[in-house]
Structure 1
Amino acid sequence: MGAVTPNRLRWGALAWLLTLQFFVVETVAELRHGSAYSRIDDVISALGASDSPAAMLMNASFVLQGALILAGALLLRPVLMRTAGEVAPVLLGGAAAGVLLVGVFPIDGNGALHAIGAVLYLLGGGLGLIALAYAVRPRSEALGTTLALLGLVGTATSVFFLTGVVGYLGEGGTERAAAYVLPIGLAVAAVVLWRQGPEPVTDAPVPGDGVGRREERARERQRRAQQARERDAALDAFARRHTDTTADDDEDLWSPPGRNRD
């Protein structure tokens, strides 16, 4: 794992923490839209359509969201571990590009590019959180588990939304279940990583990780070899002491009587 300065860590964590701006802007846009808008039935992109009173504000939030996700992924890359640390920024970068497309091309503008952006964001976000979970797991088991669960929920609901399985939560509700997990997960990761600081953390073995098991077996072999060497050394020392004692006794038995009395 490469080094990261406290300042870089601070700005990266702040970028991910600020992705929560999406919820604030969405609420403001919904309030300006009025009672005709429903979070259950209407998709998020409708708030950025040309007939939405807060279209410019909502689309600006989409673009800003993409910049924040990407900035955090690049700045925090040195604190992400293992192969997952290489994969997570790529997937999160795809999600960032997707939400950027959603903001630049509204749903009633270039529909094809808007749809591509939505797919990139939803799938990249869910899978990106899963990769991020494994990348931070050596630093925090609890954080890794939380991100993995959020990623699984996001990926599953993304598949449901994209395939039209929206009867239970509604179209808008299903999309939100898929979209909300990314800013929530990134904000949680930002807080934990910021509090832990930039100090390198030993890449300790994690249950279920193949590299960790190999390292553990190697350490166990070294421990047994050390024990064997210590045992052999102790036996050798005991044998030498026994030999020296026997030699002294033999010398006393054959010494002149006068020497024995002394």
Structure 2
Amino acid sequence: MAAVTPHRLRLGALAWVLTLQFFVVETIAQLRYGGPYSRVDDVISALGAGESAARQLMNASFVVQGALILGGALLLRPMLHGGAGRAVPALLGAAAVGVLLVGVFPSDANSTLHAVGAVLYLLGGGLGLVALAYAVRPRSEALGTTVVLLGMLATAATVFFLAGVTGYLGEGGTERAAAYPLPIGLALTGVALWWIARRGDAAPEGTSMRAERARDRARRAELARERDAALEAAARGNGSADDAEPEDPWGPAGRRS
């Protein structure tokens, strides 16, 4: 497996942080939309269709998003642990291909490929976050917990959206509950992995934070035992010197020797 050089780590983390560009472009596209638009009632794809004045910008954002997701996954792969780490590039790769199809084939141009792309993105993104959570948990339990919650939210919302259970959040709101967690989770993970590596706190490959803490406790206990032994030896040495009878300069010659 390729080593994680600082340059590679920075590029991978930056790629995942830049997936947040989606939210900026989505807001611009919504502001420039030709008619009324609601994030609760209207799906994201409408911003890339014919009625959207910023459709080209929105579709370009989808394509860029696919490149950023896949690029970050490949660059950061050596930082991911175990079988979950091996699954992350495949799942996030499916999400990347999906959002690429969404951008290349708008809903009013090729609805079939657009729908296939949307499903790939939503399913791959939710499951990819769950796998990513287990892959980074040995490095940071807090990060793993946060990412798995985002993945579970995305997966559940995807099931509701595909099943048409959208009465509570609306069609657009339910889709966003399924789609938004991926860029948020990737950005958090990119920043966290870069910070962990920068501090030098990353656990070696194949180890866990619990094992690291156990080793730290063992090292501290060993140091404490060595310190106590040294103090005890010093105390015995001082006691022997204090107990020795001082030489009497006025005594007989034998006493002075």
User: What TM-score do the two structures reach when normalised by structure 2?
Assistant: 0.78
Letter paired with 2:92: L
**CA distance in 2: counterparts of 1:197 and 1:2, whole angstroms:** 16
Partner residue, 1:160: 160
Letter paired with 2:45: S
Deviations 1:146-201 (A, max 9, x none): 01000000000001001100000000000000000000000000110011127652
Partner residue, 2:137: 137
Partner residue, 2:181: 181
How far is the alpha carbon of 1:206 from its aligned partner? 7.2
Counterpart mapping for 1:223-242 below 5 A: none
Q: Does residue 149 in structure 1 map to residue 149 in structure 2?
A: yes
User: What TM-score do the two structures reach when normalised by structure 1?
Assistant: 0.77
Identity %: 70
Partner residue, 2:60: 60
Which ranges of 4 or more aligned residues in structure 1 deviate by more than 2 Å?
202-207
Equivalenced residues, count: 211
Partner residue, 2:3: 3
How far is the alpha carbon of 1:89 from its aligned partner? 0.9
**CA distance in 1: counterparts of 2:74 and 2:208, whole angstroms:** 26
**CA distance in 2: counterparts of 1:100 and 1:114, whole angstroms:** 9
Q: Does residue 76 in structure 1 map to residue 76 in structure 2?
A: yes
Letter paired with 2:123: L
Partner residue, 2:203: 201
- 1:205/1:196 Cα in 2 relative to 1: closer, same or farther (>3 Å)? closer
- Residue segments in structure 1 that go unaligned for 5+ positions in a row: 224-262
Q: Is the 8 A contact 1:70 1:93 kept in 2?
A: yes
Letter paired with 1:61: S
How far is the alpha carbon of 1:3 from its aligned partner? 2.2
Q: Is the 8 A contact 1:122 1:178 kept in 2?
A: yes
**CA distance in 1: counterparts of 2:87 and 2:207, whole angstroms:** 20
Letter paired with 1:196: I
Q: Is the 8 A contact 1:42 1:171 kept in 2?
A: yes
Deviations 1:198-229 (A, max 9, x none): 7652344478xxxx8xxx9xx9xxx9xxxxxx
Partner residue, 2:118: 118
Letter paired with 1:136: V
RMSD across aligned C-alpha pairs, in angstroms? 1.9
**CA distance in 2: counterparts of 1:169 and 1:35, whole angstroms:** 21
**CA distance in 2: counterparts of 1:54 and 1:35, whole angstroms:** 12
How far is the alpha carbon of 1:136 from its aligned partner? 0.4
Letter paired with 2:36: A
**CA distance in 2: counterparts of 1:100 and 1:34, whole angstroms:** 24
Q: Is the 8 A contact 1:2 1:79 kept in 2?
A: no
Q: Is the 8 A contact 2:34 2:51 kept in 1?
A: no
